[in-house]
Every structure is written in structure tokens, then in C-alpha cells.
Chain A
Amino acid sequence: MAMYLKGERAEEASALERAAELLGQARLPVIGGLLTDIAGAEAALALARKLSGVIDHDAGEALTRSTRLMRETGACPASFGEVRNRADIVVLIGDAPLARDPGLINELFPAGEGLPRPGDNPRELVVLGGAKQRGVGDVEVTALPFEDEDLPTLVGRLAMAVAGRPVSGKAKADAKITRLAERLRGAAFPVFVYSAADLEEPVIHVVLDMVRHLCLTTRAATLTLAASGNGDGVNLCSAWTCGLPVRTRFIDGLPEHDPWLYAAARLIDSGEADALLYVDALEAEGATPPRGVPTVLLTRDHGRRAAAEIVIEVASAARDHDAELYLPRISGIGVVKAAQAGSGAPTVAATLTRIADLVPLAEAGPC
């Protein structure tokens, strides 16, 4: 285990002790980044509770946007597999879904016959407010690009048309929107695909309303792109561990959630937080800690010795060890086998547990 204090190689015990001391003495320590597996998330939650600290994820903005929307109005999601096999119309909202997952179209429209699906409509892909895409096989692809409007307006006008209300705008675009709305109403299983990170909350509300409206006469759903950095996995883990999603603070062992108040970056910018533990330990992904407070960095990138006051080199989940992660293709938590023999570096879970053991605070009562 290589560890660095202010860029200088340090003894393992002293670096861990120093990390525990920094976090334990902080008025409001924040645990952020959390590009880690489920075991790492569990250890981070346990540490946050012991520290009476905050837990957030690098993708916290998108995660809390989705969870807040759901808590306020519900949700109607479909799994990736159901969309792939049974959706007759797939509507991508904006360019963001394909920018974030370039393989999406090929995966949603694989060659060959899928499982039995409802209705006899041909399968169709629509890109709403984005560039037209090349078709896959015999799948029809249409695009409804912006004209002199923006994506939220386009989504709003489609929702109006789906609800059977008049759409006002350019006549040519109106006709396209009205035709799409008719196809959606006549579909057996229309699905809207979006990235919560790239769509503002009011727009997502409109999409969810549109889905609920379609459900009056058929079934419909949303498919959201997974958050980066195992964000969905960490968020689910937070919910089963303490009952609440990320952006939660522990106070006397009890969790309190607020998507604005407990955003890691805001807490650091505002000076409310005075220490940061940042975890960046997931193969093929990376993140950079916000600057401004003394930081303990757990990183898989073994060349960042000066990136924080305390740098602890850890194993890369899914490369050096088997890892439980949110897997978008099963819309749930699965396991990814290690790609290679272990690097010898400790896991995030083991490291955080060792730090927690060194934090000299009395354990709060069970939550």
C-alpha cells in the first residue's frame, strides 16, 4: 500500500492515522466522489455515520434529481432488457443519451428476432431534438431536430400533442410532432430514453407526465441512462443502509437528506465543510476532487501522489478485484469479475474500514 503525505511517501500506519485524525477532527467532513463498488460504498456510509459527516457521489446532482422526482411524483421505468425486446417506439431525448452511451442504439436494436412483443408495429427509433442517426438493420429512424426552439420546448410541445392539445409553432414542425404523438398513442410500448444529468428537472416532469398520460390507454415507460461512476449502485446502497439516497448527513447516527444542502461541491465552496475524503477507484472511469479543503484521496491512479494532502493508492474495482456494481444492461446490481490478478493495493472497503477503526469517536446508537 503506497501512501503519501503532501506528496512524500509515508508509512502506512502514519498515513492512515493522519487521515483518521483529519476527518475525525473536522467540524463537517464530507465523503465524496465515491467512484467505487458496493462494498466501498458500504464502508463509506459506515465511516460517514461515525464521523457525523456527509455522503455524496460525483454524480450526485443527477442522482438526486431522479430520486427527488420519484419521491415527489413517482416513476414508470423499464429495464434495459424490456426496452430492447419489447419497445416498439424508442424516443431518445436530445443528443445526450448517445453521447453518454454510444453503443446504445446497437444494444437496443440488436440484429435478429427479439422476445415476443406486443402489437405488430415495426420497431422505430426517434431522436427528439438531436441529430439523425444511422439506422440499425430495418429499424426506422426519424429525427425531430430543433428549429428555432430549444429541447425543453420541443419536449413540451410533444407532450401537448400526446395529450391531444393543440400545438402551436411552425406548421411543418407541428405536423411532425402531431404525427409522432399519434404514433406514440398507437404504440404498444413506447419508451422515452434520457440522461437525468443532462435534462433539467421541469423537463423530466413533462416526460413523466407524458408517460403517465400514455399509460391511460397503453403502457409506456422511461429508460434513464445510468449515472457515471457506479452512482446508481452507491445510491441504492445508501437507501438500504440508512433509508435515504446520497447527499445525506448523519447527525447523532440518524440520516438527514437534502439534495442542495448536502452537495459536496457546494459544502466545500461555501466553506461549510472543512475536510474531504474523496474516492476515485473504479476501472475505466475517473474524477477529480473539488479543491478548497484538506483532502484525503483514495485513488486507483497510482501516479497522483501530490493530488491531495493525503493520497492513498487503492485497488481498481473490477480490474484488481471482483466488484459488485450497477450494471445498466441488467438495470440492477451485478458482479464484474476482476480483469487481472490483484495489484496488491488494498480495496476501498478495506481502507475505509481501517480509517474508521482509527477514528476515536464513540459509536452512536443503532440507526
Chain B
Amino acid sequence: MLIRLKGGRVIDPAHDRDAVGDVFIDDGRIVAAPGNGRAPDETYDVSGKVVMAGAVDVHSHIAGSNVTMARLLMAELPALAAKKGAAIAPTPAAWSAFATGIRYAEMGYTTVIEPAVIPTHAIEAQRELSRIPIIDVGGLVILGNDDFTLGLLRDRAGPSEGEDYVAWTLAHSKCLGIKLINAGGSAAFKFNARTFGLDDEVPAYGVTSRAILQGLQRAVTALGVPHPIHVHCNNLGIAGNVDTAVATMEAAEGLPMHLAHIQFYGYGAEGPKGLSSAAPRLAEALKRHPNISVDIGQVLFGQTLTLSADILRQFDGRGAASPRKWEIIQGEGNGTGIVPYKYRAKNFVNAMQWSIGLEIMLLAEDLWRVLFSTDHPNGALFVRYPEIIHLLMDKDERTRLLDSVPPEARELSNLPGIAREFTLSEIAIVTRAGPARRLGLADRGHLGAGAVADVAIYTDQADKTAMFGSADLVFKDGCLVVKDGEVVDIRFGQAFQVAPGFDAAIERKLAHFYDRYYGVNPSSFGVPVTIAARPDRFQTVPCLS
């Protein structure tokens, strides 16, 4: 069926397009205008509206045993997080897998990546992902603090064995990429370490964080996994940790690497309170390292909950829990920490965090490598993305909020000196084209011929929070799923995986390892292809040759 989206302002930065025109959809894909006079079967008049590709979220904790434990810890989060202007239904059901897909779709999102799949709990993660309607999904599986990785590095195993292990883990969990979280830090926590830097050694293994980082990065690169290793650096949230972020970029030695929620590493140690914005330094470091991409991890003021497999950091931060309850889950590999948190505009540190995230985006030269995120739910719930888009596009909105923060934070903020207001094309880069490209999902994030027909259409208006909070129309695979901000058709999407091959010898080694140390067979936690009980659930993204 040929669909014509007629006369909208088409924003497609991947093709340098920002012009009024038509977009054609045929059989679930974007197609060029039919030249043979073929009449569209359906036409939507979208004149006066903005047409973009469906948005792509590179980092949002939406599924898995860690997320569900957070649901059980704090069923009331949606109610506490509800605020004027943020469309959050104040019911625990708003935390559910089902509501997640509905709300993402209403905002025009069509692809979301869950960035912390626990290898031994991958079945739950994929099961939950399969119950999220409309959006396509993918998981990043966590490695690097697990004893098998550490053992390989300690024993100086050759690179091929490490590659086999990475490939096996990807196959077993059916994930799109590898996540590395505080490399070695969670393992060191098990030996009662409470801080862990890039050159610290994991006790008993004698392996440094740097060695883990570089070992896994090289394995991922050698396997041709399209999304580079997705790194949560050491020393998250600590004043002066910009040094760690820059050192990690340098440790990448020119190979591709993605640094997650970089705002939490944008901290200098200067100023009267020992905390300053290091956003300019990060902007400069990103310029020097074209191999590095980041997502932001923007914070917004209000109630949320921090959820992280950086258990060392979460354990250390548990005293800041608000409300005062926390859960530290000491599991295989990383474990997870869940600490409710409320960011307050009147709190100096929170105000600096808010400012620094915006500064990093606004100071960036190459937005294709600076991707939009809140590290949902860590910085803010994903339902609040439109508020951030508003801040990026409207200096007055920034000034309005800046006026509410403590004067000491205002003085240290670089925001007053930044006049930049993102264009719609720039928003489309950080929320669509950039994430899709960095994930290796070539057929989305843009509106070129052949792209998947995931399209979001908005009413252009000064209130960008309203504009991006509720799409007029959303097409998923060419089907109309949202109309006037409401879901009209509930369907289920696909999950992306990569499937580099591996030598079967690694399976025997892993069977022995899990039998000896855990008394289980790895087949008990391998994701069955039938997990969603729907055909074609998994789409394999080809590896780079």
C-alpha cells in the first residue's frame, strides 16, 4: 500500500533535508516519489507539521530483572514523579512493560535500547522486552566484572578466546552489543573495595580496569559488532571525574567506543565547593577523539530512581536514598544497586548536574556523536524527554530554570554564556540519526529510500514540551500506530541481535565453568528463539567485515 505524507516540513539530517515536501511509504519502507504517476492508496495532509524519522533511544533501562526489582522496590515512582507538564499516569501500571511501549510511541519513539542485560538473567530481559508493544528493541549485555572474563585476562588467554566468549555471550543473550560497567569495579567491590580507578587492579586477579576495557573493546571491534563497546566509566558521580572520562577516551587508542551518560562524568573539582563544570573540557576531548561517541544522561529536577549495575557506586551512594530505602543486589558479574533519588533545583550539586548535561550538548561540535538520553530512569524518567528538548531549543526556558537554582550554581554554570538553540535538524540528529548510526542500524533514524517506515509527525509550536510530548501521527513499519497523541493500533516490534560466530570449544569451557562454580548448565539461561512466542522476533544485524 502506497502512503503519501503530503506537504510537511521534512527534517532528515542524514540527507541534509529540511524542506517542505512529501514522504512516501510503501510496504513498510520509505520509498522515493513514484515517478510513474502511481496514485497513493492513502494520503495524509501534514502541511504545517514537522515530519521526522521515528526516534531512537540508545540507552534506557526498560527491562530485565534489575528493572523489575526497581518496580517492586518503588511501585509508587510514577505517582511521585508526576508533575505538571509531564504526562505520567500516576498509577503503578505506568511502570509496566506495556505502558513503556505505549508512552514511547506517543512521543514518536520507535526504537529503544536496553543497556544492561545481565547474562544469567537474559531470559527475563528478553521476555520483558517482548512484552513492550510497538517499539523495536535491543539489548546490550554486560561483561567485564564476571569471573570468566577476569580469568581469561589473568591467564593471558589469546585474543581469539576472548572473542569467542564475547560472541558466545551475544548469541546466548540475543543482544546487539556489549556493555562494560565500571570495569573491574564491581569485582573489586566483592573484595570490599569502595573506590576503583582505571589503573587499579581487581584483587586476586591482578587485572586492571584498563586491561578489561581494552581487552573487551578489542574483542568487540575484532568481531565487527557494529555498535562499539558501550562503556560506563569508573568513578561515576565524583567531583573531578572528568579526568577519568578523558583518560578512558585516551585508553580507547583510536578504536571506536561509546561512553554512556557522560554528564555524570562532567565534573571538575574546582570552585568554592569543590565541584565545577567540566563540560568545556569534555567538548574539547570529544573533538580530539573522533572515535568516541557519548550519550548525555541529562538530569531533570524531580523524583526518580537510580538503577545501575555499578554496584560499587550504588553502594557508596545508598545514604542519599530519597525516600530512604535502597536495594543492593549482589549477583554474578556486576550485581545491581537501586537507590531512589530526588533531584532538587535548590540543591547545589543537583543544579550543577542539570547545567552540565545541557552544557555538554550545547557545546558539542559534532552532534552525531553526542546522543540524547537521561539514562532512564537515572537522570529522569524517559517520559520527560520533551522537557529536555525544550531546554535545548529555547534559551529563555533555560534562563527560567536557571533562575531557580542556587546562586553559587548559577555562577559556575556556563549556560548564561551559551546562546545556542538547537534547530529541529539538530534535535533529529541527537534523537534519531545519530543514535541509529552509532548502533549500526542503517535502516532507521532517517527518511531515505529503503529506510524502515518509522515516522513521527508533530505540530510545530513554541512549546516544545507539548510538541514532542505528543505526536500527531506515528507510523511504525508503515502502519499508523499513533493518532493525535494516542495509540490507535497495538502491534509488537522486533529485537535486534548480532550473531558473530565462535569456536565451539568455548561452549565446553563455559559448561565446565558454570557447572563447577555455580552448579548450573549455561543452557538454563540461554534465551530461546521462541521467547516472544512470535515469529521473526529477532532480527540479526550484520557484523562489519
Contacts and interface: CB of A to CB of B under 8 A. Distances in A.
Interface stretch (B93-101, B292-300, B419-427): B93-101
B93 A254 contact: yes
B123 A116 contact: no
Given A81-B517, A218-B192, A366-B102, A76 B328 contact: yes
B518 A81 contact: yes
Contacts of B520: 327, 329-330, 334
Interface stretch (A64-72, A147-155, A167-175): A64-72
Nearest to B187: A116
A330 B192 contact: no
Interface string B316-332: 00000100011111111
Contact of A241 (B131, B190, B328, B516): B131
A240 B97 contact: yes
A82 interface: yes
B330 A333 contact: no
B525 A72 contact: no
Contacts of B519: 84, 107, 110, 329
A221 B99 CA distance: 33
B73 interface: yes
B71 A240 contact: yes
A142 interface: no
Interface string B60-76: 00010101100111110
Contact of A332 (B94, B131, B525): B525
Contacts of B120: 81, 330-332, 334
B139 to A, nearest CB: 15
Contacts of A339: none
Interface stretch (A10-18, A157-165, A242-250, A305-313): A242-250
Contact of B330 (A221, A241, A254, A322): A221
B327 A74 contact: yes
Interface residues of B, number: 60
Contacts of A324: 123, 127
B96 A243 contact: yes
B76 to A, nearest CB: 8
A334 B525 contact: yes
Counting contact residues on chain A (CB < 8 A from B), the size range is: 35 or more
Interface string B172-191: 00000000000000000111
A82 B121 contact: no
Contact of B75 (A257, A332, A366): A257
Interface of A: 38-39, 42, 67, 70-82, 84-86, 107, 110, 112, 114-118, 188-189, 215, 218-219, 221, 235-236, 239-245, 254-255, 257, 322, 324, 327, 329-337, 366-367
8 shortest A-B CB distances, which residue pairs? Answer: A116-B204, A243-B92, A74-B325, A367-B93, A79-B331, A243-B95, A332-B121, A334-B524
Interface of B: 63, 65, 67-68, 71-75, 78, 91-99, 102, 118, 120-121, 123-124, 127-128, 131, 147, 189-192, 203-205, 315, 321, 325-332, 335, 487, 490, 516-520, 523-526, 528, 533
29 contacts: A71-B73, A74-B73, A75-B327, A78-B331, A79-B330, A79-B331, A82-B330, A82-B331, A82-B332, A85-B518, A110-B519, A112-B516, A116-B203, A116-B205, A118-B203, A188-B192, A189-B190, A219-B315, A239-B72, A240-B63, A240-B97, A243-B91, A243-B92, A327-B525, A329-B520, A333-B65, A333-B123, A335-B524, A337-B523
